[in-house]
Structure 1
Amino acid sequence: MNSILKDKIIHASQDLGIDKIGFTTAAPFDHLKQSLEEQKVNEHTTGFEHPIIDERLYPDQIFNQPQSIISIALAYPSRIKTRPKSIRGEKRGKFARASWGTDYHHILEDRLQKLITFIKEEADQDQTLTFKPMVDTGELIDVAVAQRAGLGFIGKNGLLITEEFGSYVYLGEIITNIPFEPDTPIENKCGECTKCIDLCPTSALLGDGRMNARRCLSYQTQTKGYMPEEFRPKIRTIIYGCDICQEVCPYNKGKDSHFHEEMEPDPEVVMPLLKPLLTISNKEFKTKFGYLAGSWRGKKPIQRNAIIALANARDKTSIPNLLRCIEEDPRPMIRGTSAWALSMIDPNNEEILAFLKSVLTQETDEETQHELLTAIQKMEKTIKGES
């Protein structure tokens, strides 16, 4: 079953920029079908997943005569080597670790293509070889493939946890018509530990490796509309993603990998000043943040999250910026979120209250009217000493 070729691939993988590699069959992942269907019925999915469940489970539905799947992992940093300079009176936001450095989709695609090129060069030339590489925008479930290929186990937080790098890894895979001896799957090793479940601020984790993804803060930071008010304080000053279930995991203690230069974060980019984000142009946003995975939804969610972060930081110096957003920004969601932020930062300010009341009389967007009214009512109660 191409054992010599498999050995060559394993030995060459690190030279190709791959930190861990494993092999599994192209057999169905049908044991996951009931779980995926339940998640869909219960509305626990984000809508970012591949929409056709069977194509996520049955490799033969997306590839002609598949024989094997090769799974790869690349380890990414968990700590910034040099923190950005502190500027008096300025608050910073933060991108979660999976968005540090160059967009991991591009990095994985590069490694997968290099791996395919190597295999083509080393394989039997008499055989017609076919490959289908993919990262998390593909059909298959990356963690399920990686677990079955022996790269690690799926933790209670739903992430793949490797022995060497913890869960700080990017995953990709290649379906191929080459038969390889499969590696041994690794079973869950979480034991009685429930730290990720207990410390998830939104109770998104269900306890069995599944989650209500719509309650995950990482998902909430990527939506484009209003963020539900219950989640706003919980993101703190994170403007993209969430790392809490990784930070508290014992398997991640001391794990910090700096193997790939393109994954190294620019501190000024991944911990940006918040106030300048409120008025950043599309061109400026693309220039500064466009290479990050966290930019994929555009600037609007990042700006909304920056407003929420300023509120959570109770940054009174941002009040003029937020007032300007309400007066000048053409986007209702930005105006409404700014009104909420003002009611959090300075709820006793009667001038701001009067300003919001005047704005409410002119606002035409229904959701934004609700945000303004809620902010006004909160401030009125505070000023009257009712809360």
Structure 2
Amino acid sequence: MNVLTLQQELRDFAASIGVDKIGFTTAAPFVDLKHLLKQQQELNYQSGFEEENIELRTEPTLLLEEAASIIAIAVAYPSRMENAPTGKKGARRGIFCRASWGTDYHTVLREKLKEIEGFLVERVPGIKFRSMVDTGELVDRAVAERAGIGWSGKNCSIITPEFGSYVYLGEMITNIPFAPDEAIEDQCGECTLCIDVCPTGAIVQGGQLDSNRCVAFQTQTKGFLPDEFREKIGNRIYGCDTCQTVCPKNKGKKNWLHAAFEPEPELAKPLLAPLLSMTNKEFKSQFGHMSGSWRGKKPIQRNAIIALAHFKEEDAMPQLIDLLTKDERPMIRGTAAWAIGKIAAAEAEEVLLAALQLEQDPDVLNEIDKGLTLLKN
């Protein structure tokens, strides 16, 4: 079959299965990206979730020896929620970022890539391919940018003219020599809103992110949250959307296109208090289908405690005291101690002083001291 004919048929097929954008690029090395990634490593700006081997991230032929081109796909996700519940005193709520609403995008995009694989296998004898979504070696944004899906914005997201930056990305390396698409010209211009409003200054400059300072990254860590970020995460329990919500290119982009990504309001903005006593089984049952559950319940519970402290929610004191005195996990006990000091309810000092006498873990003792210090300020 003629490759150009196949390429057009593939575009049509992708649209029929709910792929919102598809683009093609060569399997040539990502030379500029290689330099950027080396700089990121030298500056310690990487999160640790990425593939460490820069060669694997920038040399497609190391992943598929016969690689001739890369297919990039994008699927849009909602930027707004209908019937969003409102938190109030005694019933405070946290929020998952938009990229975690609905069904885990890894699952959805992998299914779409499998359908594309099947489409090509039927038409191309001896086809070879390797598909990936987010957790693969290649840098999704770099592939999408070169394949004409969108441009790489100053907020370090791919921004598409049609859907803004609210898109999930995936790609397939293949030995089929598809014709490459043209990249889209950068349209950020002089705008620096995403840099200006980043809660922690994680966007060092346009297109460069210190991942370790990113609120989205910090909400996914498993240890104690550093003090400087506790005041910044607010009621975010997973992820952060600030650099996307302020982007002018996202204005008016609702993207209510795929039922799989429509948020369940009570899960996307869950009540905080029930999260604190949730078992692993209950957590998996309620949140296991969401991408925001991938790190387990512990970081979510820690963030929920911090969110309750953010609201100074005195109604949460009995639960926080229970966590401080009974929970087996030092990080949860310690965060609860800090939150008790932050909320500063009438019984806070007595509770913390009593815990100080019984606690043996040095990290938790340190958090109790922080809580007592907060009471004095």
TM range, smaller chain: over 0.9
Q: Secondary structure at the match of 1:106?
A: helix
Cα RMSD of the aligned pairs, angstroms, is: 1.3
Question: 1 CA distance for matches of 2:146 and 2:86?
Answer: 44
Question: 2 CA distance for matches of 1:223 and 1:269?
Answer: 21
Percent identity over paired residues = 51
Q: How does 1:295-334 map to 2 (within 5 A)?
A: 295-334=293-332
* 1:67 Cα deviation after fit: 0.2
Give CA deviations for 1:24-61 in whole Å, capped at 9, x if unaligned.
00000021112111111211111100111110000011
Distance 1:353 1:170, change over 3 A: same
Question: 2 CA distance for matches of 1:94 and 1:31?
Answer: 36
* 1:11 Cα deviation after fit: 1.5
Give 1:251's aligned residue.
249
Distance 1:371 1:162, change over 3 A: same
Give 2:139's aligned residue.
141
Q: Secondary structure at the match of 1:120?
A: helix
Question: 1 CA distance for matches of 2:37 and 2:313?
Answer: 42
Runs of 4+ more than 4 Å apart: 85-88
Question: 1 CA distance for matches of 2:366 and 2:356?
Answer: 9
Give 1:165's aligned residue.
163
Give 1:385's aligned residue.
none
Q: How does 1:7-86 map to 2 (within 5 A)?
A: 7-84=8-85
Q: 1:363 aligns with which of 342, 351, 359?
A: 359
Letter in 2 for 1:361: Q
- Matched-pair contact (CA < 8 Å) for 1:282–1:299: yes
Q: Secondary structure at the match of 2:16?
A: coil
Letter in 1 for 2:223: G
Question: 2 CA distance for matches of 1:205 and 1:50?
Answer: 21
Question: 2 CA distance for matches of 1:12 and 1:26?
Answer: 22
Give CA deviations for 1:200-232 in whole Å, capped at 9, x if unaligned.
010000223010000000000000000011111
Give 1:343's aligned residue.
341
Question: 2 CA distance for matches of 1:18 and 1:311?
Answer: 41
- Matched-pair contact (CA < 8 Å) for 1:50–1:139: yes
- Matched-pair contact (CA < 8 Å) for 1:16–1:115: no
* 1:86 Cα deviation after fit: 5.9
Question: 1 CA distance for matches of 2:8 and 2:204?
Answer: 39
- Matched-pair contact (CA < 8 Å) for 2:98–2:241: yes
* 1:343 Cα deviation after fit: 1.1
Q: Verify: 1:94 aligned to 2:95, yes or no.
A: yes
Q: Secondary structure at the match of 1:133?
A: strand
* 1:120 Cα deviation after fit: 1.9
- Matched-pair contact (CA < 8 Å) for 2:96–2:292: yes
Question: 2 CA distance for matches of 1:91 and 1:355?
Answer: 23
* 1:87 Cα deviation after fit: 6.8
Give CA deviations for 1:162-217 in whole Å, capped at 9, x if unaligned.
00000000000000000011000123211100000000010000223010000000
Q: Secondary structure at the match of 2:208?
A: coil
Give 2:119's aligned residue.
118
* 1:81 Cα deviation after fit: 1.5
Q: Secondary structure at the match of 2:201?
A: coil
Give the TM-score normalised by structure 1.
Answer: 0.95
Q: 1:198 aligns with which of 193, 196, 200?
A: 196
Question: 1 CA distance for matches of 2:322 and 2:341?
Answer: 15
Task: Between 304-313 and 83-92, report the one with greater CA deviation.
Answer: 83-92
Q: Secondary structure at the match of 1:179?
A: coil
Letter in 1 for 2:351: F
* 1:8 Cα deviation after fit: 0.5
* 1:88 Cα deviation after fit: 6.3
Question: 2 CA distance for matches of 1:99 and 1:258?
Answer: 15
- Structure 1: segments with no counterpart, 5+ residues: 383-387
Distance 1:85 1:196, change over 3 A: closer
Q: Verify: 1:374 aligned to 2:370, yes or no.
A: yes
Q: Secondary structure at the match of 1:235?
A: coil
| Count of aligned positions | 376
Q: Secondary structure at the match of 1:39?
A: helix
Letter in 2 for 1:256: K
Distance 1:115 1:216, change over 3 A: same
- Matched-pair contact (CA < 8 Å) for 2:75–2:168: yes
Q: Secondary structure at the match of 1:182?
A: coil
- Matched-pair contact (CA < 8 Å) for 2:89–2:313: no
- Matched-pair contact (CA < 8 Å) for 1:197–1:207: yes
Question: 1 CA distance for matches of 2:106 and 2:365?
Answer: 39
Q: Verify: 1:261 aligned to 2:259, yes or no.
A: yes
* 1:354 Cα deviation after fit: 2.2
